[in-house]
């Protein structure tokens, strides 16, 4: 065939915007959940502006979208800041444009909330209404102070029953740490692992038994996907077939534990806004109430700054006893029923119900030489 008749191969198609975004996120070692959240916000941003390409938009469109989230959707400040961070990442690392000047105008001030804490009796009542894997997972979360995803991503090699500790790998901020494993939980975990190992051996004989490995070891230790040490402590009930076609097992999904926990809270008659993360709050507060050092609790929780751990000191400054209110120091009013330290009877009317309120007879006293009420602190 002559040289002139050869047709050059077609040029490869340019990667799509979302593929470029995922590649930039993974290159910087962001967590898979961050990647999923950032891609979701970019898609919502494009749809909000009539499916225009972000390269044709700029700071004004970003500000309009974030303002819509804050004013019309009334999202939480953390959600607003996450959406803004996703768009700033898109323009800075994918499109090569900087939107830093806009972030100062529309970044929300973070809220400071007092964490909800359960009493030990309330924790016991909730755990009594759980069954199976959700009960064991909730017990581990309270006993070790783990987040829900940290608990579900535990593998067999992360449990050290002899030393009484757990190893959390790739936690928040991609940090590893050690956590408590109380001896009261060792027997339950040991029996659970024995059952898991028997099931794993049966699955291996059936040609299954592989699990998803971390990205850092998948390429060089792919043959270890069937090894016992890589198995999930809380495995899913079904296997998953990914794109490459090999049947693998994932860990138990978070929603399975969340639904069971929410039902247990209702059955335990807990009148608080409680989630699985409340067990972590209760773990930290109960340790501080027991007199443990705040630095120790900080390391167990994996907090970067001790100021984050300080929010759990609100009821634990004096062994779980809140300070006495200054109301107890007020003198007893006439008609009060007494009580400790002369506390007045709350709810007792200062004006008799038989005597209707009269603006003429119940108004403030006036000064005789001016006919006006005295001004507080100035006369």
Report the share of the chain in percent with pLDDT over 70.
Answer: 74
Q: Which residues are catalytic?
A: 147, 172, 277, 280, 303, 312
Establish if 293 belongs to a structural domain. yes
> Does 264 share its domain with 173?
yes
pLDDT in tens, 69-81: 999 999 988 899 9
**Domain match, 182 and 316 both:** yes
Report whether 247 contacts 254 (CB < 8 A): no
Residue that the structure tokens 């076609």 belong to? 245
Same domain membership, residue 89 and residue 216: no
Q: Of 293, 320, 347, which one is at a domain's C-terminal end?
A: 320
336 within some domain: no
Asked if residue 371 belongs to a domain, the reply is no
Q: What is the pLDDT of residue 98?
A: 81
* pLDDT lower than 50: segments of the chain: 1, 316, 318, 337-348, 350-353, 357, 361-362, 364, 367-371, 376-379
Q: Return the pLDDT at 5.
A: 55
pLDDT at position 208: 82
Question: What is the reported pLDDT for 279?
Answer: 95
Considering the domain architecture, whether residues 146 and 238 belong to the same structural domain is answered as yes
Each residue's pLDDT tens digit, 202-218: 888 887 888 888 776 65
Given 52, 75, 106, which residue is the final one in a domain? 106
How far apart (Å, rounded) are the C-alpha atoms in residues 157 and 180?
15
DSSP state of 262: H
Q: What is the structure's pLDDT at 332?
A: 64
Query: Domain of 93: which CATH number?
Result: 1.10.150.130
Q: Quote the domain boundaries for residue 75.
A: 17-106
The residue to which tokens 């971390």 are assigned: 214
The verdict on 133 and 282 lying in the same domain is yes
Q: Classify residue 377: in a domain, yes or no.
A: no
Residue 164 CB partners (closer than 8 Å, separation 6+)? 180, 181, 182, 183, 186
Do 162 and 202 lie in a common domain?
Answer: yes
Same domain? 102 vs 117 = no
Pair 275, 155 in one domain: yes
pTM tops 0.85, yes or no? no
How many structural domains are present in the chain?
Answer: 2
Which pLDDT value is given to residue 342? 46
Residue 65 domain flag = yes
Same structural domain, 116 and 231: yes
Residue 269 within any structural domain of the chain: yes
Do 149 and 286 lie in one domain? The reply is yes
pLDDT of residue 292: 87
């Amino acid at each position: 065939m002559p040289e002139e008749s050869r047709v050059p191969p077609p040029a490869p198609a340019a990667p799509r915007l979302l593929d470029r975004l995922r590649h930039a996120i993974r290159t910087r070692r962001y967590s898979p959940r961050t990647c999923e959240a950032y891609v979701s916000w970019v898609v919502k941003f494009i749809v909000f502006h009539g499916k225009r390409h972000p390269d044709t938009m700029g700071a004004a469109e970003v500000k309009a979208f974030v303002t819509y989230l804050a004013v019309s959707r009334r999202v939480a400040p953390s959600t607003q800041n996450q959406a803004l961070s996703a768009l700033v990442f898109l323009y800075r690392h994918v499109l090569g444009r900087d939107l830093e000047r806009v972030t100062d105008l529309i970044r929300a001030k973070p809220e400071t909330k007092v964490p909800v804490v359960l009493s030990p009796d309330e924790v016991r009542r909730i755990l009594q209404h759980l069954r199976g894997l959700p009960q064991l997972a909730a017990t581990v979360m309270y006993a070790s102070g783990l987040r829900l995803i940290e608990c579900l991503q535990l593998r067999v090699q992360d449990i050290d029953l002899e030393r009484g500790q757990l190893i959390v790998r790739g936690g928040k901020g991609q940090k590893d740490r050690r956590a408590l494993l109380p001896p009261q939980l060792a027997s339950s975990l040991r029996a659970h692992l024995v059952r898991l190992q028997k099931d794993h051996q049966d699955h291996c004989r059936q040609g299954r038994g592989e699990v998803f490995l971390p990205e850092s070891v998948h390429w060089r230790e792919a043959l270890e996907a069937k090894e016992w040490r890589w198995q999930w402590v809380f495995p899913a009930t079904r296997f998953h077939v990914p794109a490459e076609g090999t049947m693998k097992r994932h860990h138990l999904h978070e929603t399975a534990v969340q639904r069971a926990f929410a039902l247990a809270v209702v059955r335990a008659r807990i009148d608080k806004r409680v989630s699985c993360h409340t067990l972590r709050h209760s773990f930290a507060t109960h340790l501080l109430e027991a007199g443990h050092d705040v630095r120790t609790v900080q390391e167990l929780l994996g907090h970067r700054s001790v100021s984050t751990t300080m929010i759990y000191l609100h009821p634990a400054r004096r062994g779980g006893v809140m300070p006495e209110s200054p109301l107890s120091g007020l003198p007893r009013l006439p008609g009060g029923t007494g009580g400790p330290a002369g506390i007045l009877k709350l709810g007792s009317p200062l004006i008799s119900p038989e005597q209707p309120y009269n603006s003429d007879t119940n108004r403030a006293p006036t000064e005789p030489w001016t006919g006006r009420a005295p001004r507080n602190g100035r006369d």
